[in-house]
Homo-oligomer: A and B are copies of this chain.
């Protein structure tokens, strides 16, 4: 029996306004004047002086604004890495990701691919990364994915949507400043928050669970209930608690796995480009048979916040298209094993998945 030696983020700052400490934190990490810091920032912050004026650019430091309208892709990482190599005199001092899960995952992947040869798609899987990544910092501006603390960076490649799971993936530094989440739209707030909630349901009811992951998952779950069902929190408290829910939810995956919602939403993402948060919500809404209590509570939260999920997104798909989604989903074996144990293939057949996708 061998247990994972889990890598934790070695440095974390938590606090409203802690983003102001970024320059001070980075300064001692600068290798030399030819090794810049590269900031990958969600392009919703383009022209947002409130945020960008607090980033002090020196020497060849550079901001690259990136749209999070689409899920992050392996080809996108390859292009970013090539651009960075071509335009910097030396390997960067660090990569700083500022945004939601998409930007955080891009920052992790770019920092890995700057020190590892070949194409990003070749590293999708478990423990395929050979060299330590360069110093990378994660600063979430949307809460829920757990990308700030997790050991993966989930990317859509030519053949699959799958994470680069490795000991070199986690950030070296995370800054948790809930003030950065204040302008997230209500829908996005809900979808990404539900990503955390769904993580917890999947992790807590999974076969992989142990006491470590359970304690983190339960705390994230309790926080989600408080945030999405109670009315007792101020706006700031709610933002701070959702940031912690995301953190604990991400930690709960350490010795666990996600489940049906993630496995199926990866299929939607691969074929239709459905984004992760909303994709999980669309799937989870139909998973009563797997997670009866969890789905009931989810529907309460959805009603309370007047969230309308898209309907009929699979209505016009061909059989070939269904097969593509089903194959992507069935390929995520650890997720299905977490749901139903070693014999999961007896229950989860292509026909079963097709009938579920058809409801969506």
Binding site for B on A (CB under 8 A): 1-15, 17-18, 20-21, 25, 173, 176, 178, 210-212, 215-216, 218-219, 222-223, 237, 240-241, 243-245, 248, 254-255
Contact = CB atoms under 8 A, between A and B. Distances in A.
Contact of A210 (B14, B20, B218, B245): B14
Specify how many copies of this chain sit in the oligomer.
2
Contacts of A5: 11-13, 21, 25, 173
Contacts of A17: 1
A29 to B, nearest CB: 12
Nearest to A213: B14
A222 B215 CA distance: 10
A15 B240 contact: no
Contact of A240 (B176, B211, B219): B211
Contact of A218 (B11, B15, B219, B255): B219
A13 B21 contact: no
Nearest to A167: B11
Nearest to A244: B215
Given A210-B240, A215-B244, 17 more contacts: A1-B15, A3-B18, A3-B21, A5-B11, A6-B13, A7-B10, A8-B8, A8-B11, A15-B210, A176-B212, A211-B240, A211-B241, A212-B244, A215-B248, A218-B219, A219-B219, A219-B248
A25 B10 CA distance: 18
Nearest to A223: B215
A200 B140 CA distance: 28
B21 A12 contact: no
Contacts of A3: 13-15, 18, 21
A18 B11 CA distance: 25
Contacts of A254: 14
- Chain B CB within 10 A, most for which of A3, A13, A176, A212: A3
